[in-house]
């Protein structure tokens, strides 16, 4: 099983579906501007509009982690005559 499941999730502009944004990272809660269509968002607005995208990524991440865990369990106990593994 991998020890690191950190994944970068790209934010998508709800208007033009592009993934490039401009913001000033020196200012906390600075306004985020889409580099393509120039719409402005707060961080919260952008996160809200990407909710489904983020949820899908986390779901996939959980499934991948479970598959890896199942493989590890099979590897460790698979050849044991004392354990029967059914996954």
| Residues at the site binding Zn ion, with contacts judged by CB under 5 A | 13, 15-16, 34, 36-37
Nearer to Zn ion, 16 or 73 (CB): 16
Nearer to Zn ion, 49 or 57 (CB): 49
Q: How far is the CB of 43 from Zn ion (least distance, A)?
A: 15
Nearer to Zn ion, 53 or 73 (CB): 53
CB atoms within 10 A of CB 76: 11
Q: Are 74 and 85 spatial neighbours (Cβ–Cβ below 8 Å)?
A: yes
Q: How far is the CB of 49 from Zn ion (least distance, A)?
A: 11
Q: How far is the CB of 14 from Zn ion (least distance, A)?
A: 8
CA distance 60 to 9: 12
Burial of 27 (0-12, 13-18, 19+ CB in 10 A): exposed
Q: Are 2 and 68 spatial neighbours (Cβ–Cβ below 8 Å)?
A: yes
């Amino acid at each position: 099983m991998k020890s690191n499941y950190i994944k970068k999730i790209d934010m998508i502009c709800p208007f033009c579906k592009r993934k490039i944004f401009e913001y000033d990272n020196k200012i906390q809660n600075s306004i985020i501007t889409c580099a393509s269509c120039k719409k402005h968002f707060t961080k919260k607005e952008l996160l809200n509009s990407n909710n489904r995208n983020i949820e899908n990524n986390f779901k996939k991440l959980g499934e991948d982690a479970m598959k890896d865990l199942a493989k590890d369990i099979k590897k460790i106990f698979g050849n044991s005559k004392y354990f029967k593994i059914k996954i």
